[in-house]
A and B are shown apart, each in its own frame.
Chain A
Amino acid sequence: MLKKLLQKNLECLWEEEKLIKIVKRDQPSRAIFFLTPVLAIFLTLFAGGLIFYILGFKPFEALKFFFIVPIADMYGFSELLLKATPLCLIAIGLSFCFKSNNWNIGAEGQLTFGAIVSGGVALLFYNQEGFYILPIVIMAGAIGGMLYASIPAILKTYFNTNEILVSLMLVYVSKLILDYLVVGPWSNPEGFNFPETRQFSDSARLPILFEGLRIHAGIFLALAAVVASWFIFYKTYLGFQMKVSGFSLKTAKYAGYKGKKMIILVFLISGACAGLAGVGEITGPIGQLHREVSPDYGFTAIIVAFLGRLHPVGIIFASLIVAITYLGAETAQIFMQIPKYTGQVFQGMILFFLLASDYLLFFKIKFTGLKK
């Protein structure tokens, strides 16, 4: 008797009065659109603490060393900006591609190639000084990035080739070209065969903003890119076209947009941004070309672009947050012997959680409660 009653109750719970109901939203919620990145960050912190605990570290202390200690002083803050600059710049460029459904994931290669071209130009002027050198070097970097990005773009538009695979393969190629140049023809003749080039002349270098800190004028390039991208996205016809093609390629075609031209354009923009990031890396604090221009900024920037919701302002915040994972990994390794790859694990997790919490954008979870 009791069993029967219980069963009936359970059935009732299951079939008619579900405790939790998942309902599709009529329209993606705008508030949640900007709230989920925050949720993703908190979930990442929580999961990160859990990982630290499993690895045998005190979770709170580890998180403190990871996220607070690195930026606790002026030097740390300038390092944060230094790392956030290329991330922001590349992510802004990528947001053009991603918004219009073009999967350029080879920004790392475009950054490297931009660095190669601008470095080559800077080396031409290695024993000269003059105000005209720096602009030429910067231009060269942007053009280098654009050239490199144009390869997947042209192959996609005219040869129907998958841009994901092409842009990614080009990353490996660009790193090998750089390796060849700094070991071989461009290596410093007085450098005892170290894999690096000559130091650039002072006129080819982005000025350092504050004495004793490493933050350099490249940050203005990033800010300029933010403003320009905001203007293009929201105030121009091109931005509108990109948005439409992002939502539905069919609609874009029906509306008669020049699809091929737009694909090439967004790739060029994102290549230029990545190339500029490359310029910042070599003409900023380092002042020469060497083997590793970038610690995978090009790949991390993909996460930044998503975390920032492909919105210029969002990308600024996202780049700062993701830049902490770079610094935190270094600090945590020095003070707590936590392996530095934890940074990458955090970056992967942020993207996982962000994508997962997007579920809330399209679906509502209703607590209906128990009704008699």
Chain B
Amino acid sequence: MIIDINFVGLIITSIMASAVPLILASCGELITERSGVLNLGVEGMMIIGAISGFALMTVTGSLFIAVVGAMIAGVLISTIFAFLTQTLITNHVATGLALTIFGIGISAMIGKNFVGIPGKEFPVLFKSLKDTIPFLSPILFGHSIVFYFAFTLPFFTNYFLKKTKLGLIVRAVGDSPESASNQGINVKLVRYSCILYGGAMCGLAGAYLSMIYTPQWIENMTGGRGWIALALVVFSTWNPIKILIGAMIFGGLTIIQFHMQAMGVRIPVQFLTALPYIVTIVVLVVISRDSRKIRLSTPSSLGKSFYKDN
């Protein structure tokens, strides 16, 4: 069997493309969780971003407005979560679940009028360089700006958390809100900002799905990617660089499943489709088995409310 090097390049490219929404959403959620907030509404925020992006693109015709609008929509919906968990001190898990249920409902309601409308072509960068080097150039060139943003985001996130003062503040708030508060840091403000930032990234991830990856609106089109993104954060042990690896593995699973179907492998379709979910569970088990390692890397106040009596 001759392996065509360009074909391999193509597969790697498609794996990277399917990893983009996972990277965006998990990097956003990672910052949120690093500040001690567990937002389980990733799926809901992503689907809101997907429909807002697609709807704005159809209505205004501007891709820029659509992408920015999707991020704003993500911010707006996460504001509900932030207000409930930070100001009204509600339970993070329950509020996140409500956010997901609400988001899926609202998106389907808005999206009713957008089913079946074809999407627009999203402009790609470095198109002319695409055919220069046989194996590398399809991987490196000819992608949307969101694609490049996603693959640099983990490095920026890492730099932000480890090398900047703001990053230190976020980590301090996540590890010990009491001490941070005593140092004069406004815990509520930090957590609000981190939640809204997570919302923006999830909105962007959703917009990528409905505008670039599969340019159309399908009801419930995130299909559990939000939950996989949440699992990725645990997988990465809250380290942004490892998100990149994890997202590539999960992106790879999705793509390989398509290729296996195309090659006529005699495994029922449903089992292949279930593969990413099953692998998520297996990976979670492997990662979490070492409870000491997990305890060391988990933000200590993750999911716990902080209330300052004044």
Contact = CB atoms under 8 A, between A and B. Distances in A.
A176 B88 contact: no
Contact of A362 (B89, B99, B104): B89
A355 interface: yes
A348 B97 CA distance: 8
Given A162-B284, A352-B102, A173 B84 contact: no
A181 B195 CA distance: 41
B124 interface: no
B280 interface: yes
B249 to A, nearest CB: 15
Contacts of A339: 108-109, 112
B285 A358 contact: no
Interface in B256-288: 268, 270-271, 273-274, 277-278, 280-281, 284-285, 288
A155 B285 CA distance: 7
Contacts of B294: 160
A299 interface: yes
Interface in B68-112: 80, 84, 88-91, 93-95, 97-99, 101-106, 108-109, 112
A4 B294 CA distance: 59
A349 interface: yes
| Main DSSP-derived SS at the A contact region | helix
B227 interface: yes
Contact of B108 (A162, A166, A344, A352): A344
Given A164-B93, A180-B271, A355-B84, A169 B227 contact: yes
B230 interface: yes
A341 B109 contact: yes
A303 B101 CA distance: 10
B280 A165 contact: yes
A32 to B, nearest CB: 14
B309 interface: yes
A356 interface: yes
B83 to A, nearest CB: 8
Given A155-B281, A165-B227, A343-B105, A355 B288 contact: no
B112 A177 contact: no
Nearest to B87: A359
Given A160-B294, A356-B88, A166 B102 contact: no
Nearest to A296: B101
B185 interface: no
Interface hub of A105, A161, A173, A302 (most chain B Cβ within 10 A): A161
A351 interface: yes
A342 interface: yes
A301 to B, nearest CB: 12
A173 B278 contact: yes
B10 interface: no
Given A169-B281, A306-B94, A351-B101, A345 B106 contact: yes
A162 B234 contact: yes
B289 interface: yes
Contacts of B182: none
Contact of A180 (B80, B95, B230, B268): B268
Contact of B90 (A183, A344, A348, A358): A358
A159 B289 contact: yes
A355 B109 CA distance: 23
A265 interface: no
A160 B101 contact: no
Given A160-B289, A160-B291, A172-B224, A184 B309 contact: no
Interface in A79-126: 103, 105
Interface hub of B93, B98, B234 (most chain A Cβ within 10 A): B98
Contact of A341 (B94, B105, B224, B284): B105
Contact of A351 (B89, B94, B224, B278): B94
A105 B93 CA distance: 10
Interface string A181-218: 00110000000000000000000000000000000000
Contacts of A294: none
A138 to B, nearest CB: 27
Interface in A268-309: 299-300, 302-303, 306
A162 B294 CA distance: 11
A24 interface: yes
Contacts of B234: 162, 165
Contacts of B285: 155, 159, 161
A103 B96 CA distance: 12
Given A160-B291, A172-B224, A344 B104 contact: yes
26 contacts: A159-B289, A160-B288, A161-B288, A166-B284, A168-B224, A169-B278, A170-B281, A172-B274, A176-B274, A184-B268, A306-B94, A341-B105, A341-B108, A344-B101, A346-B105, A347-B101, A347-B105, A348-B99, A351-B94, A351-B98, A352-B84, A352-B98, A355-B88, A355-B90, A355-B91, A359-B88
Given A161-B284, A166-B284, A352-B102, 14 more contacts: A155-B284, A161-B281, A165-B280, A177-B274, A300-B101, A339-B108, A344-B102, A344-B104, A348-B99, A348-B101, A348-B102, A348-B105, A351-B98, A359-B89
